[in-house]
Structure 1
């Protein structure tokens, strides 16, 4: 049975509509995957991609910038992710940008979010590897919370044990809480400590006053604090030391002289120990006095002698002239 013209037209419209939808779909998918525009490939190395897949979005500061082209294991700890970035966006991405794997919403797909660096830098080039930042995974958070819960449970058990012993009067704290006599003794002790502390405070205050008075220049210690006075005292002590040394030398010389006198050496020994010599000296001095008197008498007689009288008058006139000139 041959198909009617209307059926053939309906079939042609259906095929055309299906092809149109297919082309539009391919266009939107290709546009989303940056298959038809000018793109640049850059790379990032992660230790864990957290479920990231090829085809997931790449965003720069929250703006769609490209897609994930390839995910490849470098070694047992590093994973290399290749990203295709639109050339309209690539000029804004600098070499110090940081790539981080995040989720698109609370339960969305994993995406790569590129964050600008803190300082200005040159734009990235094709094939560059940018710095990465790994966020804390949910598993790590749960593991940490599990450890924290276990530690909190152990701490709670210990606290329950301690509080139970305290209520039963065990240990020092339990005795302090339950023993009224010890509480009174402790109260009395604190009272005496307060009194002692007050006395100590007064003593410290008096000591501070005493120390402050030492700085007063009106007392002896205050004078000694003066550098000029201290220097003068130091000089006086130095001179006294030198004088003492000289006195010791003089005393040593006197001791030597006295020793010589006692041992019969020198004239002093004869003068002090030989009475005959003393008598001779006395008689000599007596004779000298007598001779001096006689010499004075002879000179007086010569003055009255008519032969020498002119000479003595001449001497007297010269003495008078000398006195007038003075």
Structure 2
């Protein structure tokens, strides 16, 4: 079948359009991956990259500024992550800037986030510099801990439910106390009796105090209380006299010691002369 001119024109147009679309796609992808702009490289060492892959975005101040160039295992506890960044953000990244691994939304792809820095150093980062890193949280460990907490909470809840059920059915001491009206009435009677006893003790104490005051005023016992008061005063007087005597003896001993020291000092000075 012979191809007509219109068909040739259509084929040519489709071919040109295909090349334009391919060119635009390559340009767009290259622009997203910083393939057509001036770039520089930095790296960081992580213990765990949490699913980060080569080609994931790098963000600075919420803006995509580069991509993850490579991820290599250094040893059993270190993973090196190399980044390719746009040269336009180089002046904003300092040597004390930190790399961390985050997510693009709750369920999005992993990405590297660079904190600005400039707190302890204002030196601009250079090509191939190593940046400090903040290791990501181990999600598996967190989930395991939450699972254990949930299991423990379930066990505690089940235990409490069993205890409450026994109490409601009148089992155990607390259950019998709460569900047996006779025990409750006996306990209430015991409390009332205790209150009456306490009131009686207070009344007896007040009566004894009044009787003691009355006895002190009675002329038959007045002499006894006066002798007791006099003996108390005499005892206090003797204690005070003993304290004064001891004080005088201490002062006398101190004075004698001072005089002996002065006498010895004079004799020593005389012998030296």
Structure 2 gap segments, 5+ residues each: 206-231, 253-273
Q: What aligned pairs does 1:1-326 form with structure 2 within 5 A after superposition?
A: 3-117=3-117, 119=119, 121-122=121-122, 123-127=124-128, 128-137=130-139, 139-188=140-189, 190=191, 192=194, 234-239=243-248
Structure 2 distance, partners of 1:61, 1:6, is: 54
Q: Deviation per CA, 1:220-239, whole angstroms, max 9, x where unpaired? A: 99xx9xxxxx9998444544
Structure 1 distance, partners of 2:89, 2:250, is: 95
Which residue of structure 2 lines up, in the alignment, with residue 216 of structure 1?
none
Q: CA deviation at 1:73?
A: 1.4
Q: Compared with structure 1, are the counterparts of its residues 188 and 30 closer, same or farther at alpha carbon in structure 2 (3 Å cutoff)?
A: same
TM-score w.r.t. length of structure 2: 0.64
Q: CA deviation at 1:79?
A: 1.9
CA RMSD of aligned residues (A): 3.9
Structure 2 distance, partners of 1:196, 1:41, is: 87
Question: Is the 8 Å Cα contact of residues 165 and 171 (structure 1) preserved in structure 2?
Answer: yes
Structure 1 distance, partners of 2:90, 2:63, is: 12
Structure 1 distance, partners of 2:196, 2:9, is: 111
Structure 2 distance, partners of 1:163, 1:105, is: 45
Q: CA deviation at 1:182?
A: 3.7
- For the pair shown, the structure with the greater C-alpha radius of gyration is 1
Q: Deviation per CA, 1:144-200, whole angstroms, max 9, x where unpaired? A: 33323321221122112212332343333223213434434544555537985996x
Structure 1 distance, partners of 2:145, 2:94, is: 35
Structure 1 gap segments, 5+ residues each: 203-219, 225-229, 244-326
